[in-house]
Structure 1
Amino acid sequence: MALVLRGTVVTFDDDHRILDPGAVYVGDDGRLAAVRSAEQDPPAGFSGAPRIDTDGLILPGLIDLHNHIGYNTLPLWEAVGVPYPHHDRWVKEDEPPDYSTSVTWPAKVLQQAAPEALVKYVEVKALIGGTTAIQGAPHSTRPVDGWLLRIVDNEKLPSGTDMVMTAALQLDADELRDKRADKLDGTRVLIYHVAEGRRGSTVHDEFEDLEPCLKPGLIGVHSTALTAADFAMWQDAVAAVNRAERGTVVWSPFSNYWLYHETTNVVEADKKGLRIALGSDWSPSGTKHVLGELKVADAVNRHEFGGRFSDRELCDMVTANPGDALATAWGPQVGRLRRGSAADLLVLERHDPTQDVYRSLIDATERHVRLVLVRGRPFYGTPGLMTAAGATHTDTLTVAGLKRRVAVRQPDRSDAKLDWPGVKRALEKVRTDPVAAWRAAQDALADWGGPLDDPEAPLVLFGDMPEGDTGALAAAGEVPPDLVVPRLDPLTHDATYFAAVARSGVPELQHLARYYA
Structure 2
Amino acid sequence: MTDTPLNGKPPNSINMAKKKSPIDPLESAHYGLHGTIVTMAGPNEITKGTIYVNAARIEAIIPDGKPVPDTLANYPVYKTKGTIFPGFIELHNHLSYNCLPMWEVPKRYENRSQWSGIDPYKQRISYPMNLLGKTKGYVEAIVRYVECKCLAGGVTTSQGIMLFSNAGIKKYYRGIVRNVEESGDINLPDVDAHIPDITARDAEKFSRQLQKSTCLLLHLSEGTNASARRHFENLKFSETDWAIGPSLAGIHCVALQAQDFAIMKQKGASMVWSPFSNLLLYGQTADIKSAKESGITIALGSDWSPSGSKNLLGELKVAKLYSDANGKLFNDYELIAMATKNAARIIKWDKELGTLEKGKRADLVVIKGQGNDPYKTILNASEKSIALVVINGTPRFGDATLMRKFGSSGTEPKTISKKPKLFNLKQITQDPVVGELTLSQATRRMKDGLLNIRKLATRSLPLRGMLDKQGNRFLVPLKARPEANAEPEWVLVLDHNEDEGEAVRPHFDPMAKYGLPFKKQAPMEITPEVLVPIQLDALTVAGDPTFFKRVAAQMNLPDYIKTGLKKMYGDL
TM-score between both structures, scaled by the size of structure 2: 0.80
Change (3 A) 1:27 1:44: farther
**Is it true that 1:151 corresponds to 2:179 in the alignment?**
yes
**Of 550, 557, 565, the match for 1:512:** 565
* Deviation digits for residues 203-249 of structure 1 (CA, Å, limit 9, x no counterpart): 111112234431112111000000000000111122xxxxxxxx321
Deviation at 1:128?
1.2
Deviation at 1:162?
5.8
* Deviation digits for residues 158-205 of structure 1 (CA, Å, limit 9, x no counterpart): 38x963101253243444532x4334348610001000111x431111
Deviation at 1:468?
4.6
Deviation at 1:413?
2.5
SS of corresponding position for 1:56: strand
**Is it true that 1:213 corresponds to 2:213 in the alignment?**
no
Deviation at 1:132?
0.7
Matches within 5 A, 1:340-489: 340-350=359-369, 353-390=370-407, 392-410=409-427, 413=430, 415=432, 416-431=435-450, 432=452, 433-435=455-457, 438-439=460-461, 442-443=476-477, 446-448=480-482, 456-468=487-499, 475=522, 478-482=525-529, 483-489=531-537
Deviation at 1:251?
0.9
**Of 109, 112, 115, the match for 1:90:** 115
* Deviation digits for residues 387-421 of structure 1 (CA, Å, limit 9, x no counterpart): 11345311111112211111234365261220122
Q: Hey, what's the Cα distance between the residues in 2 that align with 1:225 and 1:45?
A: 55
Give the conservation status (yes or no) of the 8 Å contact 1:378–1:391: no
Give the conservation status (yes or no) of the 8 Å contact 1:295–1:515: yes
Deviation at 1:49?
2.3
Q: Hey, what's the Cα distance between the residues in 2 that align with 1:173 and 1:100?
A: 30
Tell me the equivalent position of 1:25: 52
Name the amino acid aligned to 2:316. Answer: L
Change (3 A) 1:187 1:165: closer
Change (3 A) 1:307 1:207: same
Tell me the equivalent position of 2:291: 269
Q: Hey, what's the Cα distance between the residues in 1 that align with 2:445 and 2:199?
A: 39
Q: Hey, what's the Cα distance between the residues in 1 that align with 2:254 and 2:283?
A: 11
Deviation at 1:429?
4.5
Deviation at 1:79?
2.7
Tell me the equivalent position of 1:189: 215
SS of corresponding position for 1:112: coil
**Is it true that 1:166 corresponds to 2:183 in the alignment?**
no
SS of corresponding position for 2:73: coil
**Is it true that 1:118 corresponds to 2:168 in the alignment?**
no
Tell me the equivalent position of 1:241: none
Name the amino acid aligned to 2:109. Answer: Y
Give the conservation status (yes or no) of the 8 Å contact 1:61–1:346: yes
Tell me the equivalent position of 2:514: none
Give the conservation status (yes or no) of the 8 Å contact 1:167–1:193: yes
Tell me the equivalent position of 2:540: 492
Name the amino acid aligned to 1:110. Answer: L
Q: Hey, what's the Cα distance between the residues in 1 that align with 2:492 and 2:501?
A: 17
Aligned residues: 490
**Of 151, 154, 167, the match for 1:130:** 154
**Is it true that 1:337 corresponds to 2:356 in the alignment?**
yes
SS of corresponding position for 2:546: helix
Change (3 A) 1:150 1:42: farther
Name the amino acid aligned to 1:234. Answer: M
**Of 112, 121, 125, the match for 1:103:** 125
**Of 227, 230, 243, the match for 2:260:** 230
Deviation at 1:61?
0.7
SS of corresponding position for 1:381: strand
* Deviation digits for residues 62-104 of structure 1 (CA, Å, limit 9, x no counterpart): 1121110111000111132x2101111111324xxx1111110
Tell me the equivalent position of 1:324: 345
* Deviation digits for residues 496-515 of structure 1 (CA, Å, limit 9, x no counterpart): 12112111242243121222
SS of corresponding position for 1:6: strand
Q: Hey, what's the Cα distance between the residues in 1 that align with 2:266 and 2:424?
A: 45
Change (3 A) 1:175 1:71: same
Answer with 282-291 or 133-142: which moved more.
Answer: 133-142
SS of corresponding position for 2:37: strand
Tell me the equivalent position of 2:512: none
Change (3 A) 1:368 1:187: same
**Unaligned runs of at least 5 residues, structure 2:** 1-28, 237-241, 464-475, 503-520
Give the conservation status (yes or no) of the 8 Å contact 1:365–1:516: yes
Change (3 A) 1:136 1:14: same
Tell me the equivalent position of 2:552: 502
Give the conservation status (yes or no) of the 8 Å contact 1:168–1:464: no
Tell me the equivalent position of 2:314: 292
Give the conservation status (yes or no) of the 8 Å contact 1:379–1:407: yes
Change (3 A) 1:258 1:69: same
Q: Hey, what's the Cα distance between the residues in 2 that align with 1:195 and 1:292?
A: 24
**Unaligned runs of at least 5 residues, structure 1:** 239-246
Change (3 A) 1:208 1:450: farther
Q: Hey, what's the Cα distance between the residues in 2 that align with 1:127 and 1:492?
A: 10
Tell me the equivalent position of 1:244: none
Change (3 A) 1:297 1:103: same
Q: Hey, what's the Cα distance between the residues in 2 that align with 1:158 and 1:400?
A: 40
TM-score between both structures, scaled by the size of structure 1: 0.88
Give the conservation status (yes or no) of the 8 Å contact 1:169–1:465: no
Answer with 117-126 or 132-141: which moved more.
Answer: 132-141
Higher-helix-fraction structure: 1
Name the amino acid aligned to 2:360. Answer: S
Name the amino acid aligned to 1:252. Answer: S
Deviation at 1:447?
3.1
* Deviation digits for residues 290-341 of structure 1 (CA, Å, limit 9, x no counterpart): 10011111111111x21121111111111111111112xx452221111222
Tell me the equivalent position of 2:329: 308
Name the amino acid aligned to 1:504. Answer: Q
Tell me the equivalent position of 2:4: none
Change (3 A) 1:450 1:497: farther
Q: Hey, what's the Cα distance between the residues in 1 that align with 2:256 and 2:221?
A: 7
Name the amino acid aligned to 2:437. Answer: L
Tell me the equivalent position of 1:63: 89
Give the conservation status (yes or no) of the 8 Å contact 1:193–1:221: yes
Name the amino acid aligned to 2:79. Answer: D
Give the conservation status (yes or no) of the 8 Å contact 1:33–1:43: no
Q: How high is the sequence identity, in percent, across the aligned residues?
A: 32
RMSD: 2.6
* Deviation digits for residues 238-297 of structure 1 (CA, Å, limit 9, x no counterpart): 2xxxxxxxx321111111110000111111111111111111110110011010011111
SS of corresponding position for 1:182: helix
